[in-house]
Amino acid sequence: MSLPEVLLWKLLKTQPDGLKFRRQHPSGEYVLDFFCADARLATEIDGQSHDCGDRPERDQRRDAWLKSQGIETLRIPASDVLEDCAAVADGIVQYARARLPLHHPASAGRSPSPRQARGGFSG
């Protein structure tokens, strides 16, 4: 795991708002940086290498395959995690809560705006 992933994992592994996140979760031929099964949400931390070579196309194919499996991908620049890890973690949790089924215990009081759900980071 990269430094941004390690920092983020320290916060997500505590099951914020009752949401369970997994790290390095296999899905098909891919390994997801973080995965919340209840929200069907993959979170990918993108470093500079994600802008190079054929990586953008590979990421698009990966995201499309995950979407076909009912999994949404949230991509977050590694620089955002390094800048304010707590805000990024909070944004991920809010985004995941917004995707929960209505009957899920953590779904009470949801409906953040898309910008609030992302915690103000780009992605």
Query: What digits encode the pLDDT tens for the residues 29-87?
Result: 999 999 999 999 999 999 866 556 677 888 899 999 999 999 999 999 999 999 999 99
Tokens of residue 59, six digits: 């990421």
CA–chain centroid gap for 23, Å, is 10
pTM for the full predicted model: 0.78
Within 13 Å of residue 39, how many CA atoms lie on the same side as its CB? 27
Tokens of residue 104, six digits: 């899920």
Q: Which fold has domain 3-117?
A: Endonuclease; Chain A (3.40.960)
> What does the domain layout of the chain look like in residue ranges?
3-117
Query: What digits encode the pLDDT tens for the residues 79-110?
Result: 999 999 999 999 999 999 999 987 666 655 54
Q: Using CA atoms, how far apart are residues 122 and 81, in angstroms rounded to an integer?
A: 11
